[in-house]
Amino acid sequence: MGGAGRIDGGPRSAIVVGAGIVGLSTAWFLQERGVEVTVVDRMGVAAGASWGNAGWISPGLTLPLNSPSVLRRGLSSLLDPASPLHIPLRADASLALFLLQFAANCRRSSWNRVARANAPLDEECIEAFDVLVANGVDAPVTDAPVTALFRTTDEADAMIRELRKFEKSGHPLFITGLSGAALREQVPLASAAVGAGLNINGQRFVDPGRFVRSLGRAVEERGATMRILEVSDVVCISNGASVYPRSAPPLRADVAVIATGAGLARLAGHRVRVPVRSARGYSFTVPVDRPVPGPIYLPDARVACTPYKGALRVAGTMEFREPYERPRPERVAAIVDSAGPLLRGVRWSERTDTWVGARPVTPDGRALIGETSPGIYVAGGHGMWGLAQGPVTGRLLAEYITTGKQPEVLREFDPLRRVGR
């Protein structure tokens, strides 16, 4: 690969580093524009956060993480290891700086900015999935409301107020309240402790591992070269970009894209001013006594539940630890303890497929999508919404790369910005 660009000035070859939903989507849409693609990943397709997440394509719930309430919860988590948001007490100067920057952006004005920036991505995210499914990605995408469960109507009303603020930022919502028999019919697993529910309509869900693996096969069938290699560096050269694996000769192409999730900082950190940290989430699968028709959200516990192979995938918690650190059983126990009283007919002790994965989080709540130096692009930092926003990110970035013109909707995600700018 590598060499001259096309006659029209656009690249004819690209190396995408990262085989998760963002990287593979970028590869697919680059192929759609006639670019020859090589995809490189140190572990292979869907080996990171793209496998074990909740699988929600939920534009109605991509609420920014950097809210004043999250800041309050984060402070309390320092003393409560069972909190949904856990920040370990330890000496880590880079984490301390990140958390200070994050705290500075936990303002309503910053929250509104993130919500407005994400609105165009969320508006097009379902359509981007439709394009992939209609063109060779053989994985089901299921329409269903996400049903949020609450102990009291006051809790439900509080979430409605938050969602109405979200709606004003450019996210049209259709919400219906549930109680009594209608609530139990919608969520047969709801326990007697649940007093109210909300359907956030117009959402979808997938088996994320199956979807991303199918996307990887589609990219390969369309002519991509797939390589399992650990990359040590990506640099721009006079006629394009070079990708340096640790144990193989360099790869060269007209452009390179770094889409390595929570590992983005390792390859792109010296090029960007906005840090990306690992915020790890856990999931596991539990058998259930009754079928689950659609996703369930437990806002107070920050737990997401999704139908998965006849059972229930349960995902939750956020801890600021490095991706390579060992899983912590107490985090799984905290999910069970918080979700258990709200759901019945769930056989918690029979859980399987316990998993931990790293979500890439930025301190100002906005992803990094764009060019960092001539011929080198990054795409990452979507936080909890990488699956939902991955395909539309790939489509917009492919447009940017092949035309040289930055789509207007990507200006807020400039990877060369300063935190909060």
CA distance 14 to 376: 10
Residue 3 lies in a domain: no
pTM here is 0.93
Which stretches does DSSP call E strand in 309-375?
311-319, 352-361, 368-373
Pairing of strands 85-86, 303-308: unpaired
With vertex at residue 208, the alpha carbon angle to CA 300 and CA 148, rounded to the nearest 5 degrees, is: 25
Splitting the chain (421 residues) into consecutive groups of 10 residues, what average pLDDT does each group show?
Answer: 49 97 98 98 84 93 86 62 67 82 91 96 96 96 97 96 95 95 94 97 96 97 96 93 94 97 88 91 95 94 95 92 84 94 97 93 96 96 94 98 97 94 83
Residue 419 lies in a domain: no
CATH number at residue 111: 3.50.50.60
CA distance 264 to 274: 11
Considering its fold, how many domains does the chain have in total? 1
Residue 35 belongs to domain spanning: 13-413
Q: What is the pLDDT of residue 362?
A: 96
Q: What is the pLDDT of residue 317?
A: 86
Radius of gyration of the chain (CA): 21
Q: What is the pLDDT of residue 327?
A: 86
Residue 8 lies in a domain: no
Residue 69 lies in a domain: yes
Distances in Å between the alpha carbon of 295 and those of 2, 100, 111? Answer: 45, 34, 25
Q: What is the pLDDT of residue 270?
A: 84
Residue 2 lies in a domain: no
Are residues 244 and 231 in contact, defined by beta-carbon separation less than 8 angstroms? yes
Q: What is the pLDDT of residue 256?
A: 98
CA distance 62 to 30: 26
Q: What is the pLDDT of residue 22?
A: 97
Q: What is the pLDDT of residue 99?
A: 86
Q: What is the pLDDT of residue 73?
A: 66
Residue 329 lies in a domain: yes
Edge-to-edge strands, sheet with 56-57: 56-57, 204-205, 142-143
Residue 5 lies in a domain: no
